[in-house]
Structures are given as C-alpha cells and as structure tokens.
Amino acid sequence: MESRQLKVRLAIALTLALGGGVMPLSALAQSVAMTGGMGSKALLVINGGAPKALAAGDTYQGVKVLSVSADQAAIEVAGKRQTVRLGEAPVSIGGSGGGANGTQIVLSAVSGGHFVTQGQVNGKSTRFMVDTGATSVAMGADEARRMGIKFEDGAKFYGSTANGMVVGYRVSLTSVRIQDVEVFNVDAAVLPQAMPHILLGNSFLTRFQMKRENDTLTLTKRY
C-alpha cells in the first residue's frame, strides 16, 4: 500500500544541517519570523535560514530592521514595512504578488544537496524538506499534534521503514504555504516517528512544474 513511496528517510534527514533554505529572486517575497531576542537585537529567521541577531538599522538578505522591542520587530523589504511578532508564523513581505497569490517558489540546496525551507501548514509555521520520492506530504505525529491536526480521525495505513512496520494515518491539509505561494486540500501522511522536517512529497509537488539548475530548484504553479 504505497509503503515504498511513503517510507521515511530518517537516516538521511537527521544528517541535514538546519541552516540554509530559501533563496528568493528579487521579485519574490521574503519570509521573516522572529524566534527570540538578545537585548536590543531580534533573532530573525529569514527565508528559512539560521536565526540571525539583528539590531535596529541592520540589514540582512534585503531585510532592514527598523525597530526592536521584547516581543516584536518592525522590518522593511523593498520599501514595504511590516511587524513580525515573537513566536508567530513567518510574515511574507516585499513580493510583487502580495499575500499568498504568488505562483513561483525558488529554493537553494543546503548541505547534502537537499532543499529545506520554512513554510506553513494550516497557518502554523513549520519546516519542510523536498522529497520527490514520497507519494504525499509526510510528517511525524508530534509535529501534527503541535499544529492541531486530528490525524487519529484519518484512515490508517501500514508501511515499512528502516525500523520496521509502522502504522500511519492519511489526512487532508487545508493549506500548505511556502513563501507567497499557497495550495489547498493537500493529501498527507502522519507517521509515528519523530522527524526533523515535514517531507514535501508529490501531493504538493505535482501541482508545480519543477526545474532544477545546479543548486537552485524552481517550482512554478500549474493551472
């Protein structure tokens, strides 16, 4: 029952560096989240990269910090201003498309040649790894619970992994968003293992035309 396609590549995923992520074109939106503070500096995650400590007046990857307080930071990208708040989902700012109406995602490879990026499931911030060998989006049970997904109500399936047979659940995700691109009603599998990323499988990827050039992967939305 699709166990081969749905297998979890835990041994590979666990070796990934958590840095790196999205490398947007200048016309695309920047994804910015605040994960903490260090005195007068805000810890910002820009396009899924490693947290960067930035003070008012600093500019990093096209994101200018205007002001910093204990729980929020005002930023500016390409003349557009927005506030990011501690612990909330990343904001998308600076893209020409606006909102979640974009049509193209551009990713750059991290260590090992994998594509890892920040994004959202049902409006909740999470981290993805592109996996063209997975039939569907796949995530661990702990991450599904954190995002409020009631996967126990889904249909059960059985699959084999490197650690033996496991019981998983099939669910439908209301939305999956990366950068300023959002798709709806995405099939997913919830598995019992802890996973460092959500696997971005073909239930999401087949909605895009994929083009890889060296270490850059471009996903263009199909219509």
pLDDT in tens, 48-59: 677 889 999 999
pLDDT score for 193: 84
Q: Which structure tokens are listed for 114?
A: 């994998």
Q: Would you say residue 87 lies in a domain? A: yes
Q: Would you say residue 13 lies in a domain? A: yes
Q: Would you say residue 152 lies in a domain? A: yes
Same domain, 216 and 106: yes
Same domain, 38 and 133: no
Q: Would you say residue 113 lies in a domain? A: yes
Same domain, 200 and 113: yes
Q: Which of 93, 116, 139 is the last residue of a domain?
A: 93
pLDDT score for 29: 61
Residue type at 59 in one-letter notation: T
12 Cβ partners below 8 Å, 6+ apart? 112, 114
Q: Would you say residue 120 lies in a domain? A: yes
Same domain, 50 and 8: no
pLDDT score for 20: 34
Among 12, 77, 72, which Cα is nearest to 36's? 72
Instruction: Name the domain count of the chain.
Output: 2
172-214 pLDDT tens trace: 999 999 888 899 999 999 998 888 899 999 999 999 999 998 8
CATH number at residue 45: 2.30.30
Q: Which strand (E) or helix (H) includes residue 205? A: helix 202-205
Same domain, 88 and 174: no
Same domain, 15 and 112: yes
- Containing domain of residue 53, as a range? 30-93
Q: Which structure tokens are listed for 14?
A: 């666990």
CATH number at residue 181: 2.40.70.10
Same domain, 146 and 62: no
Spatial strand order of the sheet with 80-85 comes to 59-60, 63-68, 72-77, 80-85
Same domain, 69 and 123: no
Residue-by-residue DSSP string for 52-77: EEEETT-EETTEEEEEE-SSEEEEEE
Same domain, 213 and 125: yes
**Which residues, given as ranges, of the chain have pLDDT below 50?**
1-27, 96-98
Residue type at 2 in one-letter notation: E
Q: Would you say residue 25 lies in a domain? A: no
